[in-house]
Amino acid sequence: MTSKVILLTSTTSVAVASGGVGIYFLSVPKSARERSFREIFKEESKRAIISTTTEDNEGWKAAVTAYKTDNTGKERDAWGLSDWSTIKSQSNLSHTHATKLKEECVKRVEMKFTGREDAGYLEVFKWCTKATQ
């Protein structure tokens, strides 16, 4: 008899707690749950945001190459870079092709996302960061 009471009490507690979490997410505006890319990215220990203030030619070459690969076959690229037609036509990219990508990364690392699974966060992660040694 007491095990049924404990089970019922436990089940009720879990249901109430789950409902409370659900109500929180429904009542708190999405913008209040969002954090900047930099805030979320702090949890990442094996990558760094590619520097735009120092010469990181290899980092930007790799970034623009990844951007091209991910957007190949598309008439319009994911971020609508004004130099996309030049990037997609090049067979051998260098860091000099990353100018518009750098500008977009500067903006997007300050944007807010809901978490590491957010599609926008993942794009910034892929195209604006690099592995650390």
Asked if 106 and 99 count as a contact pair (C-beta separation under 8 A), the reply is no
Q: Please give the structure tokens belonging to residue 76.
A: 């319009």
> Is the pLDDT at 114 greater than 70, yes or no?
yes
Per-residue burial over 99-109, b = 16 or more CB atoms within 10 Å of its CB, e = otherwise: ebbbebbeebb
Cα–Cα distances in angstroms (integers) from residue 57 to residues 39, 51, 53, in the given order: 25, 10, 11
Annotate the chain with three-state secondary structure: CHHHHHHHHHHHHHHHHHHHHHHHHHHCCHHHHCEEHHHHHCCCCCEEECCCCCCCHHHHHHHHHHHHHHHCCCCCCCCCCCCHHHHHHCCCCCHHHHHHHHHHHHHHCCCEECCCCCHHHHHHHHHHEEECC
> Is the pLDDT at 112 greater than 90, yes or no?
yes
Residue 40 has a pLDDT of 87
Residue 25 has a pLDDT of 45
Among 40, 99, 33, smallest CA distance to 64 is for 99
Mind listing the pLDDT tens digit for each residue in 39-62? Answer: 888 877 788 999 988 888 999 999
Domain locations in the chain as residue ranges: 1-33, 34-131
Q: What is the percent of the chain with per-residue pLDDT over 90, rounded to a whole number?
A: 48
